[in-house]
Amino acid sequence: MPSDAAERWLAISAQFPIGPKRPGATLRSTPPADKVSAGQLRQASWQDADAVVLIESVDEDAARARIFPVSLEPGVGDARAVIIEPEASPLHGGLAVWPGQAEWIPYAALDQVIAVAAPAVLRAVRDAPTTPPRLSGVHTRESDPPPGSGATLAIDEMFDAIEFLQHAPTVTASSASPRPRPLEIPLQQIIDTLRVPQPRAMAIRLGKEPLSIEEAEQLASAANVPAEMILAALSPLPWDLLRELHEPRWRAIIRERATDNDETHARTRLGYEAYQLAARESGTGRDLWRQRIAAVLAREGKQ
């Protein structure tokens, strides 16, 4: 199974006639500023797990989405599924959706939008566990596939993936923590020990530059202080910046920056780069941090 969500989508779309009906709504052409909202059909992935999900609702503050599992493969469904025929589907092919198996997953597991379901279709799917769908092209399925069949195995794999996606990183209110004091280590010692330029050394001393465990241990040894003290000196990122970094709009960039698929570290480092860039600015809010993240990427030629 391809590890990259875009490649997974291309592999599926090549196998089945499921392209979005709305022009320009393919995965690769989704605008980077797209906002997570109800009705979106999205690819979701975390580490080795990936799935297609229908967004039922969102918790913006916690950066979580309540999702319905979705199968795009023809013939894959069971008695719990709601079938959306091609005439009602946002894709050229049909869908199977499991509204009774809704789960909350972090935004960090969401990739770009595949297509958007019509509001009437979303309502019919959402209400299906208690009210049989009356919308044309939307209906429940009456039987389960045979045990051990390819469809049964595909459904089991889908639910395994959905369970795994729930463990993607969540937003934590680190900005509520007390602000650490700057490192009481001479600037020149930081420069000499870590062999870094003065701007980065100053950012480290002020707690605005993340350090690896190895760097923290190296600096701690030279300064004769506990490594934990060095790591604790990192200023927590402002809540609005931390929250903005979990938006799917930045995920492709975070993946590109990640080493050994460590998206969490890549997200944190991008946050500190934006934090440093905004150090002389006034004001707060996600719009400000969104501009600063874009400015960091523009310097790298990625925006």
Question: Which sequence spans correspond to the domains of the chain?
Answer: 5-165, 174-299
Distance between CA 8 and CA 161 in Å, rounded? 14
In sequence order, the β-bridge partners of residue 294 are: none
Nearest alpha-carbon partner for 232 in 178, 278, 274: 178
Cut 0.95: pTM above it: no
Residue 83 confidence (pLDDT) above 50: yes
Half-sphere exposure of 120 (CA within 13 A, CB side): 8
pLDDT band at 1 (very low <50, low <70, confident <90, very high): very low
pLDDT at 31: 47
Q: Is the dihedral of CA 119, 122, 27, 168 positive or negative?
A: positive
pLDDT at 301: 77
Q: What share of the chain is helix, strand, coil (3-state, %, to 5)?
A: 40, 15, 40
Distance between CA 119 and CA 116 in Å, rounded? 9
CB atoms within 10 A of CB 154: 16
Residue 176 confidence (pLDDT) above 70: no
Give the rounded distance of the alpha carbon of 219 from its chain centre. 33
Mean pLDDT computed over every residue of the chain: 85
Six-digit token string for 99: 């509204």
Residue 29 confidence (pLDDT) above 90: no
CA distances 231 to 181, 211, 261, Å, are 12, 7, 22
- DSSP 8-class letter at 115: E
Distance between CA 260 and CA 106 in Å, rounded? 21
When the candidates are 3.90.45.10, 2.60.120.10, 2.30.40.10, 2.30.30.110, the CATH number that belongs to 5-165 is 2.30.30.110
